[in-house]
Structures are given as structure tokens and as C-alpha cells.
Structure 1
Amino acid sequence: MTETGTIRLFASDMDGTLLDSHNHFNQKKMKQVVDLLRQQKKHFVLATGNQAMRINKFFSPFDPQGDVISMVAENGAYIQKGHQRLHQSVINPIKVRRIYDLLQVLDTKPTSAVFAGEGSSFAPDWQESVQNPKTQIFFAGTISDFYPNWQAIDSFYQITIPIDKISLNWKQDSGQQFLDMLENDPLLTGLRTPTSGFGAIDIVNAGADKATGLQRLANDLKIPAGQMAAFGDGLNDLEMLQYVGQPYIMPNSQAELKQYFDKSRLTAADNNHDGVLDTILAILSR
């Protein structure tokens, strides 16, 4: 963390950070932020485990030109500058098939398991979130909330696009049995499993993370890390927060994340009270 002057890029996690506990955000303040960023020729990045389709659903109306808002989606596996895809880190199909098979032999299967790629996602039909689509899988959302274009499948061969992230959620289990299988399987090297700490585990390629995604955007935008600020609430935000010049954590962050930062890095308000947007507005108004 090195502060080197004016902040030119603001990056924020979504769930538990920018979005409140009902998956909403203050649209009036968001418009104010985007308008000020455009006037000052600065940038806003959604850095999240969410799929690009969900991000666009929330934020494209605020930036139809694509000159302010970019994204580091799928926990770093999918990077988009404005409306242009910069990078997608696709998981080897052999590894995707192996994970698909392993999930079916677990003693405790995940509440949801989603194989996500650009423009679509696939959910095996044995899981609770498919059999009961109203099942909440993460924060206050269902599978349809997080994956707008998902399809139920009963065979691996119904996955028709390259997969860049596999997302797993357990209600009553940590997923440790699966993590042990993943770690000990010689076919599954070169993967990483960022976790939010809220019952969600993502599987992406090693080297795909929010910090690396910001670096790719920074190279394209010619913005040094010291001129970036970032907001997060979970352990999957840690690399990003350590990378930027000005990290901010939410008062509602998990305790494990708070251990890495001084209390001065807390936003004044939590995710239910516009903590991210108020902080950005204050910085832009200086």
C-alpha cells in the first residue's frame, strides 16, 4: 500500500460492500459518483466474484458509453474495460469435467454449484438451488439473482461454452471435503479457490484474482496502483486491498479481513448505509 497522490480509479466489491443486505444500492448517489468521475476523467471498477451479466444488469444504465465503469469479474477470471473484454482466464475443460464428477460423490453436496462462462452459466440438476429455485445461496440472493442466464443440466456435455469460474456454496458445511479432494487430485493443479468466508468457494485458474485484474486494467489505463482506492469486506478482496494505494474495509467486514488493516481504513458507514458511495463522493469533492 503506497499512497502517491490523487485517486484516479476506485474499485469496489459488490456483495456486502457496495450492495446492501437486500442486493440494492443508492441509485441517486451512484449517478452522482459516475457523473463526477466522468467530469474528472476518472474510473470506477466493479471487482467481484459476480458474473459480468449481473454486473451489467446493475450498472450499465449509469454508463451507457462505457467510459467510466469497468469490471474485474468472476474473482479476476474475466476483465472488461468499458464494453470491451480485455481478458478471460478459461479453465481447462479436462479440469472442469473432473470437478463436475467429484461434486457428485461428495458426502455433503453443495447447496449450489454453478459453472460460469461469458454470457451463460450451468447448474447440475441434483442441487437444492435447482430443485427449489427460491433457495438463497449467498447473502439475500437465489441462483437467478446471481446468474441471470443460468441453465439446469444433467450431463457435463450440456456445458457449451468455455468456463472461467466454478462457484460452490454450502449452507451447512464448510466444503472442506471437496477442498481436500481438490488439493490431492493430480489432475487439478494450477487452480485457486478464493473464498469470501460466507460459505462460498470459487474455483478459478491460478493467477486469476482481483489484484491481477486491476493490474491488467491499470496497464491499459496507465494508472499506477498508488492512485487507486479499493473497497472490500471479505478475504477474496485481500490481494486487491493490499495492491492499491488507499484500501478501505467495511465495518461489516469479516473479522479475518479486519486483522490486516488499521481501524483508520474503515469506512464511516457499512454496506447498508452507503459506506462506499459516501466515501467516494467525499474524496471526489475535496
Structure 2
Amino acid sequence: MAYKIVFFDIDGTLLDEEKQVPQDAAEAIRALKANGIEPVIATGRAPYFFKPLAEQLGIDSFVSLNGAYVVYKGKEVHQRHIPMTDLEQLVRLAEGRGHALVFQGKESFHTNQAEHAAVFASVNSLKVDQPGYNPDFWRSEGIYQVFLHCERHEEQGYIETLPDLRFIRWHANAMDVLPRTGSKAEGIQALLDALRLTPADAVAFGDGLNDKEMLKLVGLGIAMGNSNEELLPFADYVTSNVDEGGVRNGLVYAGCIA
């Protein structure tokens, strides 16, 4: 199969534990582009979190915020906001339980609790700046995704109370919150439709729980060697770890580079 486009998760896929791009991965992306195959970032992160990375790798198209905001070469392709009624319920429930929220818009993100330890820990793990403080940010901006800060034993109460929202844990202290049907696959499909491509034309690399739908959708789903074990059943192939040539080895397996 001659693949035309490859989608890459960021954390644990393009970035190692130190949030650095391994040299062999950067070289593999350059080789991919030289072969006329389009690299696209597909991440739970917001665009302002990965702009330096995209510039470093020369990638100008992305599926961000777990499929909620998609851009192809500077042109917006797809947007999905969390409905206001769902945000209101989430805010009310989290406030009652003392759990901090971080609201993510297109260009900035803000928390409803200043100097909250769980917010600091989760956001700091991404190696990005801390959010601004604006408890009412969600009322005035379109919100694509929310970070909910609670521990594992506390998450079931949200899942049962808010059935129209989806909760995906990515940190011991935090979960992504998005519409129930939201996923990277939704954003990828929107981009493929815009380019008149099919899922069979695409490869995707991932390592986390939010990559399940993406790997299942595409023609070749590749899980990193360092993946969450729950992701592996959704992959067609498991490559090596991110810091052991995982991206390069996966692209060679796919026939995208030599």
C-alpha cells in the first residue's frame, strides 16, 4: 500500500520522556516529506502547546485538542466546541467537589483556580507555561477541551453524572474532557475528507488511551513500544520505543521511508 499521509501523536511518540524529539525521529520526518508523504500532528494538545515542535519538524498541518480543531496548511478544516450546557454542568459539579478545571480555547487556556497544586503538576509535565487565571473564560470563548483535575477514584462520579461528555486520563491528576463522540479519529476523518483521501491512505502513530480510535480508523495503526497496554489491541503493528527508533522503524515497516 502506498500511503499518502501519516498522523503522529506527540507525547510518547514524537517526544520522549524529556519532551525532546529524538534525532532519528526528526530525520525520519524529513525523509518522509522528501518522499512526498504528508506528515500531520494528531494530538490532545492545543496548538499553542506544540507550535515550536511543529516549526522544528516543518509540519504545518495538525489535528489538535483530540480532534476538535483541525488545520491544514494554515486553513481551518474542522472545529468542535463543547456545548455550553455541558460546560455548565461540568463547572457546577467540579466546583462542588473542589476540583480545578483548565479551559482550552483556540489561542489560550485558563484555569478557574489560581495556584492549584494539581494544575501546576499536570501542566508542568507538558513542559509548557502555566495557564492564566480566569474562572469565567468558558463563558466568553469557544471551549474545545477541558482539563479536569481529580484522582482516579474520583472520576467515576463524573462519568456517571455527565454522560454527554468523555473523560480520558492522561496524568495521575488530570483527565481530558471532550464531547462524548469526540476523538482524534473525528478530526482525522474531517481532514481526509477535505483532501479527498480515505482512511486506507493513512498511517497513524500513537501511544496513549486517546489514540485508540485513531489507530483503528486508518489503514495502518502503529503503536509505540512504550504504549499504554490498553492501546495495543487497536494497533496493526507495534514498533519500538520512542527513544529506540520507534518512529523511524514504524515508517520503514509502513514502506514510507527506506
TM-score by length of 1: 0.78
Partner residue of 1:75? Answer: 66
Partner residue of 1:279? Answer: 250
**SS of match in other structure, 1:284:** coil
Gaps of 5+ in 1: 184-188
Evaluate the alpha carbon distance shift between residue 176 and residue 284 of structure 1 in structure 2; reply closer, same or farther with a 3 A threshold.
same
Contact 1:12-1:46 within 8 A present in 2 as well: yes
Q: CA deviation at 1:192?
A: 2.7
- Alpha-carbon distance between aligned partners in 2 of 1:89 and 1:281, rounded to the nearest angstrom: 34
Evaluate the alpha carbon distance shift between residue 250 and residue 169 of structure 1 in structure 2; reply closer, same or farther with a 3 A threshold.
farther
Contact 1:171-1:199 within 8 A present in 2 as well: yes
Partner residue of 1:40? Answer: 35
Residue 62 (structure 1) aligned to one of 57, 66, 84: 57
**SS of match in other structure, 1:22:** coil
For each residue in 1:30-50, what CA deviation from the matched residue of structure 2 results, as whole angstroms up to 9, or x when unmatched? Answer: 543443333332211211110
Q: CA deviation at 1:194?
A: 3.6
Q: CA deviation at 1:99?
A: 1.4
- Alpha-carbon distance between aligned partners in 2 of 1:179 and 1:70, rounded to the nearest angstrom: 32
Larger mean CA deviation between 218-227 and 239-248 belongs to 218-227
Partner residue of 1:14? Answer: 10
- Alpha-carbon distance between aligned partners in 2 of 1:16 and 1:169, rounded to the nearest angstrom: 21
Output the amino acid matched with 2:11.
Answer: D
Which structure 2 residues correspond to residues 205-244 of structure 1 after superposition, within 5 A? 205-244=179-218
Evaluate the alpha carbon distance shift between residue 45 and residue 32 of structure 1 in structure 2; reply closer, same or farther with a 3 A threshold.
same
Residue 50 (structure 1) aligned to one of 45, 50, 74: 45
Structure 1 position 152 matched with structure 2 position 133: yes
- Alpha-carbon distance between aligned partners in 2 of 1:230 and 1:157, rounded to the nearest angstrom: 33
**SS of match in other structure, 2:140:** coil
- Alpha-carbon distance between aligned partners in 2 of 1:170 and 1:280, rounded to the nearest angstrom: 37
Q: CA deviation at 1:137?
A: 1.1
For each residue in 1:159-190, what CA deviation from the matched residue of structure 2 results, as whole angstroms up to 9, or x when unmatched? Answer: 5321111122435645222222223xxxxx3x
**SS of match in other structure, 2:143:** coil
- Alpha-carbon distance between aligned partners in 1 of 2:257 and 2:137, rounded to the nearest angstrom: 53
- Alpha-carbon distance between aligned partners in 2 of 1:158 and 1:261, rounded to the nearest angstrom: 36
Evaluate the alpha carbon distance shift between residue 54 and residue 249 of structure 1 in structure 2; reply closer, same or farther with a 3 A threshold.
same
Evaluate the alpha carbon distance shift between residue 176 and residue 126 of structure 1 in structure 2; reply closer, same or farther with a 3 A threshold.
farther
Partner residue of 2:111? Answer: 123
For each residue in 1:114-145, what CA deviation from the matched residue of structure 2 results, as whole angstroms up to 9, or x when unmatched? Answer: 11010011111256247xx7x4217x715xx3
Count of residue pairs the alignment pairs up: 257
Partner residue of 1:252? Answer: 226
Contact 2:215-2:234 within 8 A present in 1 as well: no
For each residue in 1:67-90, what CA deviation from the matched residue of structure 2 results, as whole angstroms up to 9, or x when unmatched? Answer: x54111111111111222211101
TM-score by length of 2: 0.86
Contact 2:110-2:137 within 8 A present in 1 as well: no
Q: CA deviation at 1:11?
A: 0.9
Evaluate the alpha carbon distance shift between residue 249 and residue 14 of structure 1 in structure 2; reply closer, same or farther with a 3 A threshold.
same
Evaluate the alpha carbon distance shift between residue 41 and residue 260 of structure 1 in structure 2; reply closer, same or farther with a 3 A threshold.
closer
Partner residue of 1:186? Answer: none
Structure 1 position 141 matched with structure 2 position 125: yes
- Alpha-carbon distance between aligned partners in 2 of 1:16 and 1:24, rounded to the nearest angstrom: 10
Identical pairs, percent:
24
